Every structure is written in structure tokens, then in C-alpha cells.
Amino acid sequence: MKLGVIVGSGVERLAELGEVRRVSTPFGVVEATLAELGGVKALILPRHGRAHSAPPHKVNYRANILALRKLGAERVIATGAVGSLKEELKPGSAVIVEDLIDLSRSRPSSLYEGLRVVHVDMTEPFCPELRRCLVEGSRRAGLEASDGGVYVCTEGPRFETPAEVRAWRALGGDVVGMTLATEAVMAREAKLCYAALCIVTNMAAGMQRRVTAGEVAEVLERVGDKVIKALSEAASLIPAQRGCSCLQRSGG
């Protein structure tokens, strides 16, 4: 089994050790690192590039997802920094989300734009099998993690406004980020299982005095080792054969 691991801010050092694989896709060339994670062969792919040069609205999501598929991955786990929309979800904790609200607007939203029409079922956007592994992996790593929640995906790279936060809370959102919804949709189109470990780095705008990139980086640095441990534990728990319905939900 090869596992794809898309790492975001604060966890990108996972991609520094291992054998670099360079793969060409119709949307560009991507580099991933072949390494061992939890006793499993894993393809570690830094979401924002090896130099962290691509902001959320400019990430080459299509190339990233297709590169993992081309390299042999069938399952993908990811990390993402998020702001909390709920008082009980504090910085330094984690959320294994189960649903999403996609508010991105200018980025490509499908692998199939201009090629053919494909409709995928997003009734269950995150693989339940991988989610269970991430929940248990987080527990084993000593990372405080909530099982379930709704991820609100914004365009970025700016942070949200207090009025937006109030609206998203009313819609049922639990955390807000800038990347995971796009990946979840494209992973489903590519027939890949996908689930994510969201790291709460701050309370959303209006719930604290201000939001800064420095604060986000500080929290990620503080919990980074536990997050890596949680990913490793989760990888060791993933069954060799898929027992979910993600493949059947992926359309024609």
C-alpha cells in the first residue's frame, strides 16, 4: 500500500527525509518524497510546494492530486491549519472534520474542467475509514482532537472578517481554512480516499482581538511533533484494503 500525505504549514518537515520523486501531470510537475510513516510506504507532498511559495488560492491542487494518483496512492490524509468558529475548539487542539462548506471562488474546482462532465457524490466528503484512523491516531499521540465538524473553505489568502465568522457560525461551520475543500473534491474525482487532520491555530476574527500569521506559526510549532506522531499512528492503522464507499461515489 502507498499512502499519500499532503502536509500543510507547520508539518512540512516530513517531506525533508526520503527519496524525492518528481512526476509530470497535465497540470504541471510535482515533487513528492517517498518515505516510511508508521511502518507504511508514504508519499509526502508539501501542499504549498517545497519552498512554501504557493499561497492557498494559487496552490496547484490538480497537479498535486494527480501526482499522488500517478505515483500509486489510493488513500490520502492531509493536515490543515484552521481558525476556530466555536469557543470550545481552542488553539492547539485538532478536529477531524466530517463535512464542508466550500466558499472558494477563483481557483479551479475540478479535475475535469474542459474535458468531460463528471458529477461526484459528496454526501460523505471525507472518507470515514481514514477519519477513524486519524481520530485514533490523534488519541495515541496525545493530541486533543474532536471527532466530527464542518470545515468552511475560503478563498484566502486573507483572514476572515467578524461578520463572515458570524455568518459561517449560523450556517453550522466549526472551523475555517483555505485549502481542504478543494482537495477533498478533486480527491473524490480522482477516486482517492481523503480525510484531514485540522489543527486549530487561532480563534476566528471577532472571537479574539486580532489574527496574525505569527500566532498561527507559533501554535503549529508547538504542536507539530504531536501532529506528526498522530499521522504516523494513523498510517499504521489504515487497512490494506479499502472498506469504504469512496470509490463508488467518484462518478463516471
Residue 9 has pLDDT above 80, yes or no: no
d(CA 189, CA 246): 10
Asked if 45 and 6 count as a contact pair (C-beta separation under 8 A), the reply is yes
d(CA 28, CA 43): 18
d(CA 63, CA 74): 16
* pLDDT tens column, 41-100: 999 999 988 777 899 999 999 999 999 999 999 999 999 999 999 999 999 999 999 999
Structure confidence at residue 10 (pLDDT)? 76
d(CA 177, CA 63): 20
d(CA 87, CA 74): 36
From first CA to last CA, the distance across the chain in angstroms is: 24
Structure confidence at residue 1 (pLDDT)? 57
Query: Predicted confidence band at 236 (pLDDT cuts at 50, 70, 90)?
Result: very high
Give the distance, in angstroms, between the CA of residue 185 and the centroid of all CA atoms in the same chain. 11
Structure confidence at residue 251 (pLDDT)? 73
Asked if 192 and 76 count as a contact pair (C-beta separation under 8 A), the reply is yes
Domains of the chain, each with CATH number or no CATH: 2-249 (3.40.50.1580)
d(CA 213, CA 202): 10
For the record, the C-alpha cell of 97 comes out as: 472534520
* pLDDT tens column, 97-152: 999 999 999 999 999 877 678 899 999 999 999 999 999 999 999 999 999 999 99
Query: Predicted confidence band at 215 (pLDDT cuts at 50, 70, 90)?
Result: confident
d(CA 219, CA 223): 6
> What ranges in the chain are assigned the alpha helix state H?
61-70, 128-141, 162-170, 180-189, 213-237
Structure confidence at residue 126 (pLDDT)? 98
**Using N-to-C axis directions, what is the helix angle for 213-237 and 128-141, rounded to 10°?**
110
pTM comes to 0.94
Residue 252 has pLDDT above 70, yes or no: no
